[in-house]
């Protein structure tokens, strides 16, 4: 927040810069995945890295996600810090067994003898008009897996800070990169990048007194927009950006909800079995007697992600958020 | 005898009872890809077939061009062109009987169209109004498959099921060179061989998986050399020689139909355009390489053969081109109409019957849409707009539609 | 419940009987998986089926879970009803991509033209002294995936009824079979098997007035035991067995909690991101003003499943359930 | 030149620039498995090596028997014996240099022990007091791996990392015949070949994956024939001939060390006991088959060679047996002691630092255990019981510990 804004940068650029700085600072960092080399990745996040660091450090792999993550495990066992790119959310599924049965568990299985400092970058979520299998919100799968850290940036600065923190972490971290924010711009000085953020801290993006919107990743800008729109209805909404789904920052979230007494969890992922249930349950356990209404959830529908022309009906938008806020039993207001 | 009992009767035995292993030689591909056009073998080819292939190649090329143009006009979300690979696409469609099944990958809309699918329905996925735009059972074309190689076990299972039922059905599954690296490729070929399923795998080796060249994908002498490791024959064919692809696939299908089990066919070809309209192939390959392949164009090869042998003249060529133009004009016209969408479809096909939970969500969306309509009606300007008719979303940045 | 009890049967036997009856009644039913043939499965659920129906109907497959489920997809496309066995919970992970991207979505992708009536049987959960990767509670992954039904029996009769319903369903159903209940016995007449249960109905296993224990699968007997023990403390606990996680029977659950005013969700799966969050959130949304205390959760710890000698510390037991009941703010009782 | 640049420079070229593919012949295995014992090749074998192998085989057989006995006594939760496969297990351990890495599957505790691991630590997983009982870095033995074939990409990655660092390290990965059907097998071999990683894959083809015989697992001439599909050599060896396994592995390792890349070795052997103590192999194989293999016992084969050539006499045999008995006695004694467990370990190694959430859960368990202790102290009978010392759980039904 203290950085001098020089020129606007995109989230994709900040992520690329985080990789570059990590590669430059630490010779054990390796970037690998499909098309991360000459092409620079389909989202251009790794643009220029292969040229700068060579193919041994930034490696175009064969097309096999389990193979990519599985070999990364072996590389980490030998002391490297692999940063793996999964090309799209749904294309991380072939690597599921390696992720769940090895990446998440190896430290535990070996009583700490074999930590796996692996970063798994997963572009996720919708809103970019992608055809099927290119817009899944898969965070529920990762959240339900002990041993993984799960982070997701909503700002350009956090994209840099969280990715650096992920790479520096001695534990495996899944970095969920919101696809539709890749080209979002912030005033961010790429030559004085934001300090590395510790993983596990939520942040209040907007202060408010009426109710708390709890959200993360691609839904953060939507919630901020909703909070602005809510002013017309006389609501002063607080917006909490979780940034880290695992570990979960109970303190920041509960403090906000205790203050406001009302909360709505907002995410793109399907509602049923999605992150919102966990979040609502945790908040309720901690803030029950401060709550004027049940914690509500605004989420994607419980359906396979829709085709491009219909996705706007699926994604939580400002209206749906305001509808939920309206249902927070304001009549009960003391 | 059941299907299952037909397998070779391997029994673990110690030496000296060891049998020498099956001779692998018949399962290995030739050193160079099989060719027909421009060789003596072309004389044996059926002239009618060659002419049909030619007409479809020309249509196919035109179809690819039209689809790419529609992308530029924003009518398609994305299009992975098969320009340069038409010989494979077309031969794969024409070699099948009606009762057979085709399992295309996401690049193979052309093959589906050549098999008889309505081109508009085949493009539904890429236009973005729904996922699969056709009933797979109608033309026996499985959904265009995006998660790479995952369609291969489907083809094996379907072929196996047909055989169990005693139906004379063969499945032909398409996959790219990159897709051969996925575990599903391995598992599918293995199941097919163990079950002796009537399925043929066609790998279109176009040299690249997006930007990754084959040398980073495999160190094998050829992809067809993988076949012996499953106990099935591997064949190597010139993928730009439509007659050769048709011949090799035809033999493999006949073999499968006769109960001989699966075959792996590698067709050596080249992707002449970028991976999709959203890709920038300048980043990973030289123009000279693309130009070198232009000299081996599948249409030119076949046209030369046909004209040299007097099977095709100027008039014939003109007629074929006109037919292709008509197809393109029709496609263009129909694709220029906005599809009529019903957002309620979102809930219609999640389960056979929507759960109460989905019914609640359906009601919520319906209420929102009603409110939207009321809102529109209040603003007279919008009164004539069709309800719920959404255009493709706004997109920006590179490759957002990369698949 | 109206069946004449002839002799006690185990859950494994009832499951086997369900497969046998389905194979006998419907020639399109096929059973496939690792070791389901001559061996009868490692839990003997498929004992005798290959002999009775032949190898074409009951098939020992090669050792490849994605291949098993992927070929089942193709078989279902041709009109068969494959019943796939995954040998253990963690060994279903290799099939994750096929499950998520095809099995769950195919009907939707094709506008209903290609339904996939596939049953995926997954022995799950711990308590049997299994070494690592043999005791995962993976239900959170399946619950978060629209397009799948997810059921899990707790009684011998339900094992039969739910498996028959799963096979009869035109939608894919994941049948989670609690490993440690395979040898649990009930009075159940195998010659007059319980009618096929419709999927999606919870059942009240024990009536009570003080609080509701919401549970499923392996934790049902534990909750019933806890409810008995609770009588000594003066609590009269109701126990709801969900039976079906998807679809979720909001009606039965909410009716119970409205009656009792207090609830604890109990399951073996890790708590964070597990089913309990969703359940607690749903209940709270529906019963907020009937709740005297927040819905609490008793779950496995948020750790990889422990080795055999330590698993008893991990699994929710009677004491831990009673502790949670004690924390339901009884002082607030009106 | 970087590691990556050493790959063959495949460029997609149209004909006539097509190169004939690499000659696959050198990559194909021989028709019959390689043997040394009882053949002329045995004369070339190093007598010391043969004697060492012999001693380890006898120890290994004894170790398997002891572990099985411990299972019957309830001291192990489950034990997958490698009886009959000792030649593979032992040769795999002895052929490696200290700096090399071994990647065992769940059946390969013997190999880990032969490499120098404390047998008690190697059995920790199967006793059930923890998962991996040793520090993998100490003897460079990766955790015994249960999810089949998932250890293979690990071996590739480690070997690749070592090569990138310029270290002279080879990885040897073990897998069963059943495991070759998994996608991870395919992906691992492909990565290894493309990267030319110094890794050797040893498939112990023991005829079965639990109850499923090889004929239902593959239709290939042999598993070693899969190698050519990745562009690496495939070798076939008699898996009960310790000298042959050692020789073939040794050559493959030397090849890898020299930068030649990976090799796939298939050892033909047989599992003489049930899959695990919980398995019932009568259900799926005939006694006669097992008996036939007894005539090809790895220990007997080597003993005959050594005695016939005068390299081993009665005294030598006795000394080896006594050593094995001593090992077994020590193992028995140490395994008969209850392991000391700390339930708090459940939280210690989930992350580098426990999250606040885990700290809360830790506090909860600690409180529960304290309450248990207080409860025990109230009942004088239990006062001397060690805290938190748990025995193996009660088990019933077939195969509850099947792996
Ligand atoms: C499982 C999976 N991983 C990644 C992708 C993203 N992707 C789409 S096409 C492609 C390259 C495919 O290459 P190839 O198989 O050779 O087919 P081609 O595009 O050349 O026709 C990739 C990586 C995908 N669709 N599925
Ligand atoms: C991914 C996975 N699927 C299933 C299993 C269950 N399982 C354990 S051992 C085994 C058979 C393994 O056979 P093989 O690879 O030949 O090794 P062997 O037991 O003969 O040593 C199976 C199916 C597993 N451990 N992992
Ligand atoms: Mg390609
Ligand atoms: Mg085996």
Would you say how long chain D is, in residues? 403
The partner residue sitting opposite D211, judged by closest CB among C39, C311, C320, is C39
Nearest to D275 by CA among D49, D162, D106: D106
Task: Search chain A and give the residue with CA nearest B363.
Answer: A301
Residues C137 and C281 in one domain: no
Task: Locate the ligand 2 atom nearest the alpha carbon of residue D149 and give its number.
Answer: 1
Provide the Cα torsion B80, B85, B89, B95; round to 10°.
-170
**C139-153: per-residue pLDDT in tens?**
999 999 999 999 999
Catalytic residue among D52, D284, D304, D332: D284
Residues A14 and A139 in one domain: yes
Residue ranges around ligand 1 (CB below 6 Å)? A 34, 63, 87, 91, 94; B 107, 146-148, 176-179, 206, 208-210, 271, 275, 403
Domain interval for residue A212 = 203-333
Determine the pLDDT at residue D15: 84
How many domains does chain B divide into? Answer: 2
Ligand nearest to the CA of B85: 1
- Compute, in angstroms, the gap from residue B203 CA to the centroid of ligand 3: 9
Q: What angle do CA B317, B323, B325 make, to 5 degrees?
A: 100
pLDDT band of residue C269 (cuts 50, 70, 90) is very high
CATH number at residue A60: 3.40.50.970
- Compute, in angstroms, the gap from residue D262 CA to the centroid of ligand 2: 23
D337 contact A CB<8A: no
Distance from CA of D158 to the nearest CA of B (A): 19
Determine the pLDDT at residue D5: 55
Residues B155 and B294 in one domain: yes
Domain interval for residue D366 = 345-396
| Pairwise CB contact (< 8 Å): C64 & B191 | yes
Helices (H), B20-149: 47-72, 86-94, 109-114, 119-122, 124-127, 136-139
From A141, A162, A188, give the residue that closes a domain: A188
| Pairwise CB contact (< 8 Å): D351 & A149 | yes
- Compute, in angstroms, the gap from residue D83 CA to the centroid of ligand 2: 17
- Compute, in angstroms, the gap from residue C226 CA to the centroid of ligand 2: 38
- Compute, in angstroms, the gap from residue C228 CA to the centroid of ligand 3: 64
For residue C63 and ligand 2, the question of a CB distance below 6 A is answered with yes
- Spans of chain A, pLDDT less than 70: 1-6, 193-194, 332-334
Residues A259 and A130 in one domain: no
Which are the catalytic amino acids of B? 271, 275, 284
CB contact burial A193-205 (16+ within 10 A = b; e otherwise): bbebbebbebbbb
Q: Judge whether residue C2 has pLDDT over 80.
A: no
Rounded to whole angstroms, the Cα distance separating B50 from C100 reads 43
HSE of C12, CA atoms in CB hemisphere, 13 A = 21
Residues C169 and C239 in one domain: no
Ligand 2, atom 4, lies closest to the CA of C91
| Best residue in A56, A58, A90, A307 for a mutation probing chain B (most B CBs within 10 Å) | A307
Residues D258 and D290 in one domain: yes
Test site for ligand 2: of D108, D183, D209, most ligand atoms within 8 A of the Cβ = D209
CATH number at residue D61: 3.40.50.970
Q: Judge whether residue D398 has pLDDT over 70.
A: no
Ligand 1, atom 11, lies closest to the CA of B209
- Compute, in angstroms, the gap from residue B321 CA to the centroid of ligand 1: 32
Residues C207 and C297 in one domain: yes
| Pairwise CB contact (< 8 Å): C74 & B159 | yes
Residues A176 and A212 in one domain: no
ipTM of the complex: 0.96
Determine the pLDDT at residue D19: 74
In a domain, B45, yes or no: yes
With contacts defined as CB-CB under 8 Å, which chain B residues touch A182? 397
Residues A34 and A74 in one domain: yes
**D311-344: per-residue pLDDT in tens?**
999 999 999 999 999 999 999 999 999 999 999 9
Residues C25 and C171 in one domain: yes
- Compute, in angstroms, the gap from residue B396 CA to the centroid of ligand 1: 22
Residues A104 and A227 in one domain: no
For residue D147 and ligand 2, the question of a CB distance below 6 A is answered with yes
Residues D376 and D300 in one domain: no
Distance from CA of D206 to the nearest CA of C (A): 14
| Best residue in C77, C84, C281 for a mutation probing chain B (most B CBs within 10 Å) | C77
Residues A244 and A140 in one domain: no
Phi then psi for A310, rounded to 5 degrees?
Answer: -115, 0
In a domain, D172, yes or no: yes
Rounded to whole angstroms, the Cα distance separating D195 from C92 reads 29
pLDDT band of residue C24 (cuts 50, 70, 90) is very high
In a domain, A49, yes or no: yes
In a domain, B14, yes or no: no
Task: Search chain B and give the residue with CA nearest A299.
Answer: B361
Q: Are A2 and A187 in contact (CB under 8 A)?
A: no
| Pairwise CB contact (< 8 Å): A129 & B127 | no
Phi then psi for D324, rounded to 5 degrees?
Answer: -65, -40
In a domain, D340, yes or no: no
Q: Judge whether residue C85 has pLDDT over 90.
A: yes
In a domain, A175, yes or no: yes
Residues D360 and D278 in one domain: no
For residue D179 and ligand 2, the question of a CB distance below 6 A is answered with yes
Task: Locate the ligand 2 atom nearest the alpha carbon of residue D146 and give its number.
Answer: 25
The partner residue sitting opposite D130, judged by closest CB among A107, A111, A115, is A111
With contacts defined as CB-CB under 8 Å, which chain C residues touch D153? none
Sheet arrangement for strand D234-238: D101-103, D171-176, D199-205, D263-268, D234-238
Residues D253 and D306 in one domain: yes
From B308, B335, B362, give the residue that closes a domain: B335
The partner residue sitting opposite B341, judged by closest CB among A66, A134, A310, is A310
The pTM is what?
Answer: 0.96
Residues D211 and D240 in one domain: yes
From D335, D360, D377, give the residue that closes a domain: D335
Residues D264 and D294 in one domain: yes
- Compute the Cα dihedral for A326, A329, A331, A334 and give only its sign: negative
In a domain, D126, yes or no: yes
Q: Judge whether residue D389 has pLDDT over 60.
A: no
Residues D201 and D174 in one domain: yes
- Spans of chain B, pLDDT less than 50: 1, 6-9, 382-403
In a domain, A194, yes or no: no
Rounded to whole angstroms, the Cα distance separating C319 from A202 reads 34
**D157-187: per-residue pLDDT in tens?**
999 999 999 999 999 999 999 999 999 999 9
Q: Judge whether residue C4 has pLDDT over 60.
A: no
In a domain, C148, yes or no: yes
With contacts defined as CB-CB under 8 Å, which chain D residues touch B85? none
Q: Which of residues 51-90 of B touch A (CB under 8 A)?
A: 77-78
Determine the pLDDT at residue A333: 54
Size of interface A-D (CB pairs under 8 A): 143
In a domain, C308, yes or no: yes
Sequence-ordered list of residues with C-beta below 8 angstroms from that of D185, at least 6 positions apart, any chain: B186, D149, D152, D175, D179
Structure tokens at A52: 């700068």
CATH number at residue A255: 3.40.50.920
The partner residue sitting opposite D150, judged by closest CB among A64, A72, A102, is A102
In a domain, B176, yes or no: yes
Q: Are C186 and C224 in contact (CB under 8 A)?
A: no
Residues D150 and D76 in one domain: yes
**A14-29: per-residue pLDDT in tens?**
999 999 999 999 999 9
Residues D325 and D377 in one domain: no
From C188, C216, C243, give the residue that closes a domain: C188
How many domains does chain A divide into? Answer: 2
| Pairwise CB contact (< 8 Å): C143 & A272 | yes
For residue D210 and ligand 2, the question of a CB distance below 6 A is answered with yes
Chains near A (3 or more Cβ pairs under 8 Å): B, C, D
Task: Locate the ligand 2 atom nearest the alpha carbon of residue D210 and give its number.
Answer: 11
With contacts defined as CB-CB under 8 Å, which chain C residues touch A143? 272-273
Distance from CA of C303 to the nearest CA of A (A): 5
Residues D231 and D353 in one domain: no
Test site for ligand 2: of C38, C63, C65, C135, most ligand atoms within 8 A of the Cβ = C63
Q: Locate tokens 């809103």: which residue?
A: A127
Residues C173 and C208 in one domain: no
Residues D130 and D204 in one domain: yes
With contacts defined as CB-CB under 8 Å, which chain B residues touch C113? 132, 135-137
DSSP states along D319-351: HHHHHHHHHHHHHHHHHTSPPP--TTHHHHTSS
Q: Judge whether residue D264 has pLDDT over 80.
A: yes
In a domain, A196, yes or no: no
Which are the catalytic amino acids of A? 134
| DSSP one-letter code for D131 | S
In a domain, C197, yes or no: no
**Which residue(s) pair with D216 in the sheet?**
none
Task: Search chain D and give the residue with CA nearest A147.
Answer: D350
Ligand nearest to the CA of C130: 2
From C157, C188, C219, give the residue that closes a domain: C188
Which are the catalytic amino acids of C? 134
With contacts defined as CB-CB under 8 Å, which chain A residues touch C122? none
Determine the pLDDT at residue D12: 72
β-pairing verdict for B212-213 and B208-209: antiparallel
In a domain, D128, yes or no: yes
In a domain, B15, yes or no: no
Nearest to C15 by CA among C143, C271, C194, C266: C194
Residues A98 and A216 in one domain: no
């Amino acid at each position: 927040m203290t950085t001098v804004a020089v020129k606007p940068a995109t989230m994709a650029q900040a992520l690329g810069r985080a990789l570059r700085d990590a590669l430059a600072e630490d010779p054990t960092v390796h970037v690998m995945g499909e098309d991360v080399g000459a092409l620079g990745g389909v989202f251009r996040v790794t643009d220029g890295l292969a040229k700068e660091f060579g193919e041994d450090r930034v490696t175009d792999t064969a097309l096999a996600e389990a193979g990519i993550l599985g070999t990364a495990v072996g590389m980490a066992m030998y002391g490297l810090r692999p940063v793996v790119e999964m090309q799209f959310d749904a294309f991380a599924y072939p690597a599921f067994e390696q992720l769940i049965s090895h990446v998440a568990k190896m430290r535990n299985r070996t009583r700490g003898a074999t930590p796996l400092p692996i970063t798994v970058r997963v572009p996720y979520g919708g809103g970019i008009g992608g055809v099927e299998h290119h817009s899944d919100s898969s965070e529920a799968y990762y959240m339900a897996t002990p041993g993984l850290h799960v982070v997701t940036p909503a700002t350009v600065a956090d994209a840099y800070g969280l990715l650096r923190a992920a790479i520096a972490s001695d534990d495996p971290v899944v970095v969920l990169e919101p696809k539709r924010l890749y080209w979002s711009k912030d005033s961010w000085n790429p030559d004085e990048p934001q300090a590395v953020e510790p993983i596990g801290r939520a942040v209040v993006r907007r202060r408010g007194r009426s109710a708390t919107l709890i959200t993360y990743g691609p839904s953060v800008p939507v919630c901020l927009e909703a909070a602005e729109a809510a002013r017309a209805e006389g609501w002063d909404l607080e917006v909490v950006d979780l940034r880290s789904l695992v570990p979960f920052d109970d303190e920041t979230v509960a403090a906000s909800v205790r203050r406001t007494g009302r909360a709505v969890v907002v995410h793109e992922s399907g509602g049923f079995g999605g992150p919102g249930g966990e979040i609502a349950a945790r908040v309720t356990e901690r803030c029950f007697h401060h709550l004027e209404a049940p914690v509500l959830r605004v989420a994607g529908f419980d359906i396979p992600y829709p085709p491009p022309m219909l996705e706007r009906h699926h994604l939580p938008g400002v209206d749906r958020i305001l509808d939920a806020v309206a249902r927070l039993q304001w009549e009960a207001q003391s | 005898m059941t299907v299952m009992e037909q397998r070779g009767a391997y029994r673990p035995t110690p030496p000296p009872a060891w049998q020498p292993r099956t001779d692998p030689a018949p399962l290995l591909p030739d050193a160079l890809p099989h060719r027909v056009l421009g060789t003596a073998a072309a004389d044996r080819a059926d002239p009618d077939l060659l002419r049909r292939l030619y007409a479809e190649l020309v249509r196919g090329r035109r179809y690819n061009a039209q689809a790419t143009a529609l992308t530029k006009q924003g009518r398609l979300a994305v299009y992975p062109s098969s320009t340069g690979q038409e010989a494979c696409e077309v031969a794969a469609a024409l070699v099948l009987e009606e009762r057979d099944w085709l399992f295309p990958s996401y690049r193979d809309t052309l093959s589906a169209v050549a098999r008889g699918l309505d081109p508009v329905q085949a493009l539904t996925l890429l236009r973005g109004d729904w996922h699969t735009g056709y009933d797979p059972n109608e033309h026996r074309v499985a959904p265009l498959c995006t998660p790479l190689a995952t369609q291969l076990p489907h083809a094996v299972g379907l072929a196996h099921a047909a055989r169990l039922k005693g139906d004379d059905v063969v499945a032909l599954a398409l996959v790219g060179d990159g897709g051969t690296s996925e575990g599903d490729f391995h598992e599918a070929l293995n199941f097919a061989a163990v079950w002796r399923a009537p399925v043929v795998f066609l790998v279109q080796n176009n040299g690249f998986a997006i930007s990754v060249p084959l040398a980073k994908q495999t160190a094998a002498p050829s992809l067809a050399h993988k076949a012996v490791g499953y106990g099935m024959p591997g064949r190597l064919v010139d993928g730009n020689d439509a007659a050769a692809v048709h011949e090799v696939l035809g033999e493999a299908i006949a073999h499968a139909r006769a109960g001989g089990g699966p075959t792996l066919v590698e067709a050596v070809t080249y992707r002449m355009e970028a991976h999709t309209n959203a890709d920038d192939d300048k980043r990973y390959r030289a123009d000279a390489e693309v130009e070198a392949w232009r000299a081996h164009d599948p249409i030119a090869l076949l046209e030369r053969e046909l004209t040299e042998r007097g099977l095709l003249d100027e008039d014939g060529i003109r007629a074929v081109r006109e037919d292709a133009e008509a197809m393109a004009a029709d496609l263009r016209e129909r694709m220029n109409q906005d599809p009529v969408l019903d957002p309620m479809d979102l809930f219609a096909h999640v389960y056979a019957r929507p759960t109460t939970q989905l019914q609640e969500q359906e009601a919520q969306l319906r209420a929102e849409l009603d409110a939207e309509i009321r809102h529109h009606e209040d603003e007279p300007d919008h009164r004539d707009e069709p309800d719920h008719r959404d255009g493709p979303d706004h997109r920006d940045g590179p490759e957002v539609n990369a698949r």
